Each structure stands twice: as structure tokens, then as C-alpha cells.
Structure 1
């Protein structure tokens, strides 16, 4: 916290706008293709962030990141249902588009926050600005679309509290504790379990039933994520977080 240059604060606000877009796109992707597949699609940011950094900041990605692109693209085509009839989801092609845009938006959030953080020892300030900006962007969108509910019921509150305390507070505490204790490659591979677990839990808890081809597509995307993560981790200890 504390005073920071105006440029850094504006950059953090831009990161928050990207994160707002990420959340909005992800939730609409869930409606179109289900929670499991939408989360897998959103995690394409592991591949996209390197390409965007290459285009904007001349940070050449590892060869493995480039090799992961055709693998992930195959998975995207399979999840979209373009090669079959009766694919799972209300609108699988739309879900794929929204899922890809989710990955792009999350990549924008990570890169913008990274390049606008300034002093890396003071991360609370940029995160506060980004969170506030995210709220400011989402609020009018929710009002305009009619999706915003200021008085959710008790059950909804309990689910939100469970989400906050489990995957957010406890999950990120565990990640923060484990990062310095594990090799970067191991951490990257372990974090790819999150989209895998989402597909499994979505089937168990929500009754989602992706087609065999869509499951193969999800596996292909996950394979691409692993290839990209291992290649990046062999060059640098930095780990790009999976979306929560």
C-alpha cells in the first residue's frame, strides 16, 4: 500500500478491467458449454500469455509454448462440437469463442498487472486498485444486463462464503506456501490439475456430460498446457497461475 505513481495506478486499473472482462466472459461461457469445458478453455491463457508477451513486449516464448499451440487448437475444435452432432452444451461454438476470449482477457490481466506492479515488494496496492476497477466495470454491466442481484438468498451467501474460504483463501495460501518448496516444473504440472478437477467435479456435482470427442478435446488442451508449462518452467522459475 502507500502512494504510487499515477501511471502505475492507471495500469493497475487497466488490469482490473481485463479481469472484469475475464469473469464476465467465463461465466457466459459456462452457460454455453458448461463449467468444466469453459474452465478448460479459460486456461488457454497458459499458451496465450506467452504469445501476447512476444507480440507486445518482444519476450520470445519458449519453443515448447509454440509447440503447444497446434495441440491446444485441436482440443478447441473438438470441444466446439464442429466435428459431431449432439455435443454437450446449449451452444458449444459460442462457448468456445467465449472461452478463448476468457483466456485472452486473463492474459491481459496477468501481463498488465505484471508490467504495472512497480515495486514487487508492495503488491497489495496494485491488487487493491485492480479489484476496485473490476468492481467498477462489472457493476454497470450487471445493472444493464439485469443479472445483478443485490439481495441473494441465504444459500447463495453460503456458497459464496465457501468459495471465498476454500478455493480463494485456502487455495492461494497453499499455492503461496508450496511455490518456494517445489521445482517450478512440478508446480506447473500440479496446477494443471485444476481444470482437470473442474471437469470431474462438474460431472459429479452438476451432472454435466460432455461427449467423448469433447473430453478428448479437453485432454488435448490440457496436454498443450503441460507442454507449455514444462517448457516455460525449464527456462524460468516464474509460474503463471491457473485461473481459479
Structure 2
């Protein structure tokens, strides 16, 4: 039963990540600022999830701490989306989404600093490989793109914000199991509140959509990419380890890179493709969960005695 639940959560997470990545196409074509785009996405989803929570009779958690954790997850998700949008404008959907996927290393750092989880040599090697991969991606981009530095900084920072958001989703469930619609309602409210001030500071003049077409795309962005995609992600995360979560999130940058190259005609040379593959391989290594020493020692002696007394 647990295996089936984990498998369905894995499938849901992959589908959610791919849909999430497709949202970068909308961001690239709608003339609305990155912070405002995050605000509208979370506001639309907040309305939808509030209605769904009412219709299904789901209630807020009784624990005040769980509510605060849910709101904090939304605040960090809003920052993640806004910084990711800024990175998309600067370096395109593919590279920005790949940089955002470096969140697995921020998750490892959170585990080390907050949960006292020891890091393996393999995880440290994967971090070095990821840094090399990012350098391979960035060197050609810096040569012809004056916005590359801003795009890389915001893309990497968005990964840190996403890691924080996922951590607080987990902490919400650890504090008190929370129904999915209510959880996403809290996340949306927290994100909307966090975006109000930055939106008016950084996106003044680019807050509202200009055409009915842009209004339609924003509605799709909020309803499909946030409600469906992020809802699947939030539903799946508590049912899996953080390591497996980081591994499956690789489906998002793969989809975004292919879309960026094939649909948006983004020039990506051989060095950058190689760097992207190296970075994704490093993320995969970083997501592997090392076996406890005691368990490895037990299996070693079990094999030894089995050969000796067979």
C-alpha cells in the first residue's frame, strides 16, 4: 500500500513539474512585471482554492503554528516565482528553470543547518560538479547577454526560495496534517501578502495586463500552473523523501530547456548543453540519500557470515 502511494506521488510530482515548467512560456510572452505576475498567479489560485476548500468542507488546521508555516511557505513561494520570472526575462526559460532546480543543494543545506543531517562525500562532489556545470552554461551567455549576471543571480536565489517553501510545506504537515485545498489556500494567501509591496516598488507601470489575451493567459497561469501543477507538487512532497523529491524535480528543467531551444529559438551551444547535462547529473547525485553507516556495517557482516558458514 505504501509503495503504491509513493508511486502515485512520484507520478503526480513529475506531471506537476512539467506543467510548472510550461508556465515559463506564458511568463516570456505576457507584458507584466515578474513580481506582479507572481501576485496575479497566487491571487487567482487563492480564490480557486478557497472555493474548493468551502465546497469540500475542509477547514483550517487548529494549530496556529501550522497556519503560520503554511503562510511562510507561500511567502517563500512568491519570492521564488518573482525571482524565477526575472531570470526568465534575462536568460530565457530553459536556463532559468535549470538554475531554479539547484534547490536540491539548498535543501541539503537546510537539512545540515536545521535538522543536523550529515552530508556525504557524494553530495559534496555533486555540489562541485553543479558549480562546474553552471560555469559551463554561463560562460557563453555572459559573452553575448548583458543581463546574464542578473539572470543567474535571480535564478539561483529562486532555487533557495523554492527550497524554503518546500521545507515549510513539510513542516506544516509535520505540525498538523492539513488538507490539500486548505494548505494551498494558505500558501496562496501568504504569497499574495508577500508580493504586494515589491510589486508596487519594482513593477509600477507593468502591474496590469494590457489586452484580453494577456488576461486570459494570466488566468491560465494562475489556474493551471499554480492550482494544478503546484497542487500536485504540494500533494506529493509529504509522501516522499526530500531526496526523491529533488530527483523528480529534474523533469521540470528538461522540459523547459527543450521548449526554450525548440519553440523559442534560444541559442544554446554544445558547451551549454554539456553544462546542462553535467548540472542535472550533479543534481541527481546530490539527491541520492546515503545509507546509514550502521546499516552498511550490518549488511557487510551479514554477507561475511553468510559466505563463512554457508
Which TM-score bucket, shorter chain as reference?
Answer: 0.7 to 0.9
Among 20, 24, 36, the alignment partner of 2:78 is 20
Does the alignment pair 1:101 with 2:101? Answer: no
Larger Rg: 2
Partner of 1:71: 129
Aligned length: 232
- Which segment is superposed worse, 192-201 or 144-153? 144-153
Does the alignment pair 1:38 with 2:38? Answer: no
Does the alignment pair 1:124 with 2:181? Answer: yes
Question: How far does the alpha carbon of each residue in 1:133-157 deviate from its partner, in whole angstroms, 9 at most, with x for none?
Answer: 1011112222222164334422223
Partner of 1:50: 108
Distance in 2, matches of 1:218 and 1:8, equals: 37
Greater helix share, 1 or 2? 2
Q: Secondary structure at the match of 2:62?
A: coil
CA contact (8 A) 2:180 2:234 kept: no
Partner of 2:256: 198
CA contact (8 A) 1:87 1:210 kept: no
Q: CA deviation at 1:10?
A: 2.0
Q: CA deviation at 1:171?
A: 4.8
TM-score by length of 1: 0.78
Distance in 2, matches of 1:19 and 1:177, equals: 15
Distance in 1, matches of 2:236 and 2:282, equals: 24
Partner of 1:137: 194
* Unaligned segments of structure 2, at least 5 residues: 1-58, 293-310
CA contact (8 A) 2:123 2:285 kept: yes
Q: CA deviation at 1:108?
A: 1.1
Q: Secondary structure at the match of 1:76?
A: helix
Q: CA deviation at 1:220?
A: 1.6
**Aligned pair in 2 of structure 1 residues 25, 151: CA closer, same or farther (>3 Å)?**
closer
TM-score by length of 2: 0.63
* Unaligned segments of structure 1, at least 5 residues: 236-244
CA contact (8 A) 1:14 1:112 kept: yes
**Aligned pair in 2 of structure 1 residues 42, 119: CA closer, same or farther (>3 Å)?**
same
Q: What is the root-mean-square deviation of aligned Cα atoms in Å?
A: 3.5
Q: CA deviation at 1:44?
A: 0.2
Q: CA deviation at 1:11?
A: 2.2
Distance in 2, matches of 1:119 and 1:5, equals: 7
Q: Secondary structure at the match of 1:232?
A: coil
Q: CA deviation at 1:175?
A: 7.1
